[in-house]
Amino acid sequence: MPPIEEILAGCRRNHPAAQRQLYDHLAYRLMGVCLRYSPTRAEAEDALQNAFVKIFSNLHQYAGQGPFEAWARRIAVTTAINAYHQRKQRGPHVDCEEAADQAHPDGTPLEQLSAHEVLSLMQTLPLGYRTVLNLYAVEGYSHAEIAELLGISEGTSKSQLSRARHLLEERLVASNKIA
C-alpha cells in the first residue's frame, strides 16, 4: 500500500482507486468506532458509510496537522453521535444485535473476557449510558466535550458514566465473569 499522503493526494483528485485504498485502510477501525455508538450492526454500517462520505467530501479541510486517522476517527464519532441524536428523537430502540469482535482487551481486570463478550455486555446498557461510556473511556473525550456533543450537562455526563460502570459491574458479577 502506498504512503497515506499519496493515497490522500489521489483522493483529493477524486481517483476511485485511491478512495478504495483509503476505505480499505480505515474501514475496520472506523467500523469499531461506529459499533460502539450504534444499537445494531446495520446502523453502524450506515454510520460508517456516512462517515466516509463526509471524509471524502471534506478532505480539503484536513490540514495535515496530526495523524489523518485521528481526523477521520473524529468524523466517524461525530457521525455516529448525530445518528444517536436522530435515534433519540425517534424514540427508544428495543432490538440489540450483537456486535462483531472489533475491539481488543485493554489490560484491565476484564482481560479475562473476550472482546466479543465485552461488546455484547456493553450493548445491554441503555444507549445514553453506553454512548457516554464509549466517549469517555474509549475515545478519551472529557465530560465537557461529551456534554457539548450530546447536548447534555457535564453533571449528566458524569452521572451516566458512573451508572454505566455500576451496571456493567453488576452484570459482570451476575454472569459470574468476575468475583
> What pLDDT is recorded for position 115?
67
> What pLDDT is recorded for position 112?
59
CB 39 within 8 A of CB 96: yes
pLDDT in tens, the chain (179 residues): 778 889 999 999 989 999 999 999 999 999 999 988 888 888 889 999 999 999 999 998 988 888 999 999 999 999 988 887 776 665 554 433 433 334 443 444 445 566 677 777 888 888 888 888 888 888 888 889 888 888 899 899 998 988 988 888 888 777 765 55
- CB neighbours of 92 closer than 8 A, spacing ≥ 6? 127
User: What Å distances lie between residue 160 and 142, 153, 164, 165, 168, CA to CA?
Assistant: 13, 11, 6, 9, 12
Domains and CATH numbers, the chain: 1-97 (1.10.1740.10), 111-179 (1.10.10.10)
Following DSSP, what letter does each residue of 107-155 receive, concatenated?
A: SSGGGGS-HHHHHHHHHTS-HHHHHHHIIIIIS---HHHHHHHHT--HH
> What pLDDT is recorded for position 97?
40
> What pLDDT is recorded for position 176?
64
> What pLDDT is recorded for position 107?
46
